[in-house]
Amino acid sequence: MEIKVLGPGCKKCHELEREVRKTLEEIGVDADVEKVEDMEKIMQYSILMTPGLVINGKVKVFGRVPSRKDIARWIKEEMK
């Protein structure tokens, strides 16, 4: 599983990365988590605001930090 946190390094971007890592630990899932800070790469995902969360190539959310419950649900959906 590949997870990307999109954001130039703002407070919410760091918070989203922390929440993703904590969620993975809580649910016992191993995944590659990449922090993408390059604006050209971020723009390829057509998100309007950062932070953004991409799981297995699919944009799940942008512009906010979702709850761990939502993050866990999206991760589990991508495992099916």
- Residue 29 pLDDT exceeds 90: yes
Count other Cβ atoms within 10 Å, centred on residue 65. Answer: 20
Domain locations along the chain: 12-79
Are 69 and 76 a contacting pair, CB within 8 Å?
Answer: no
CA distance 69 to 75: 10
CATH H superfamily, domain 12-79: Glutaredoxin (3.40.30.10)
**What does the pLDDT read at residue 80?**
79
Q: Which residues are catalytic?
A: 10, 13
Determine the 3-state secondary structure of 5 from DSSP: strand
Query: With 90 as the cut, is the pLDDT of residue 9 above it?
Result: no
Q: What is the mean pLDDT of residues 27-49?
A: 95
Q: Averaged over 49-72, what is the pLDDT?
A: 97
At CA 19, angle to CA 17 and CA 20, rounded to 5?
65
Using alpha carbons only, give the angle 24, 77, 25 rounded to the nearest 5 degrees.
Answer: 5
